[in-house]
Every structure is written in C-alpha cells, then in structure tokens.
Amino acid sequence: MGEKKGKDTREGVLIRDFKKEDVDCVYKIIEENFPRPWIKEQILLENIFSYKVVLEKEGKVIGVLFGEIIYEEANILLIAVKKEFQGKGFGKLLLEHFIEICKNKNTKKIFLEVSTDNKKAVNLYKRYGFKDFSIRKKYYSDGSDAYLMVLEI
C-alpha cells in the first residue's frame, strides 16, 4: 500500500490511507449504515492486496473505502459515508479515487456486490459505468438479493 499518499480532492477534503487509529471512526460509520456491522478486528484485517482509504473533511473521518487490488482485478469490499454527509458527493469522490488508482495500476476489472434494494449505491455504481452481470438470490441476512457488478476499465 506504499505509494498511496494523501490526495486533496476538494477544499477541506482529503483521501488518505486508513490507519489503525481510525478503527473507531470507521466502526461508527459502518455501524450506522449496515444492519450487521463488521467487528473491529475485521476492520483492521488486511493482506498484501488490501487498499484501504478514509475520506477526511476538516480533519474528521466521514467516509471509508476498503478494497483489494489483485493484479488485473480489483474488488470493492466496503464503501460508506457518514449519514449526515450523504448525498453531497463524497461517495463519488471515494469511488472516483479508487477507479483512478486501479487505472494507474493497470487493473482491468473492478467487482463489487450490492443489495438490489440499495438504490443509492446501485445508482452510484451505474453512474460510473458498473454493469450488473449476475444476481445472488437471498444473499443478505434480510433476504434481499445481491447484484454482482463489474466495471471494465
């Protein structure tokens, strides 16, 4: 994860590497957005393919994107924005950042899973050219289905 540096994307906003000190902030963001939040140990897990960044606004962590970049393929494992800051373009900044990093690493495809009921996220991904190529029935604990989506870059 060495070459990632903090990147100013717009005034007062910084996308930077996740640090273990961010675990509580990231946990809170996940907790308020997902019915079955990750445990803190999961948030801290990483391997050589991990790509983990947070979005800071005026020094506070308000967004998170965790992914993996495995040579020509990448996965988005988590993207979330603090509720009070949703709908203001921060999700787009995180996704654009990840797509840009993947392009620079010659990644050919980015994969993700998303609930078919999660209109906000599905719209966000479609806006950037992700296509759904399969459905996993009853994938989530609430019985909802998941789209498998891919962006070819």
Ligand X SMILES: CC(C)(COP(=O)(O)OP(=O)(O)OC[C@H]1O[C@@H](n2cnc3c(N)ncnc32)[C@H](O)[C@@H]1OP(=O)(O)O)[C@@H](O)C(=O)NCCC(=O)NCCS
Residue 100 has phi, psi (to 5 degrees) of -65, -45
d(Cα 140, Cα 138) in Å, to the nearest integer?
A: 6
How near is the Cβ of 25 to ligand X at its closest, in Å? Answer: 14
Nearer to ligand X, 12 or 106 (CB): 12
Of 15 and 81, CB closest to ligand X: 81
Q: Centre a 10 Å sphere on the Cβ of residue 63 and count the other Cβ atoms it contains.
A: 23
Residue number with CB closer to ligand X (74 or 80) = 80
* Span 16-35, contacts to ligand X by CB under 6 A: 33
User: Per rule CB under 6 A, is residue 119 in the interface with ligand X?
Assistant: yes
How far is residue 99's CA from residue 79's CA, in Å, rounded to a whole number?
13
Torsion (CA) 145, 44, 15, 117 in degrees, nearest 10: 10
Q: Which stretch binds ligand X (CB under 6 A): 4-12, 37-45, 74-82, 131-139?
A: 74-82
CA 59, 18, 140: angle at the middle one, nearest 5?
110
Residues at the interface with ligand X (CB under 6 A): 33, 79-81, 86-92, 114, 118-121, 123-124, 127
Catalytic positions: 113, 125
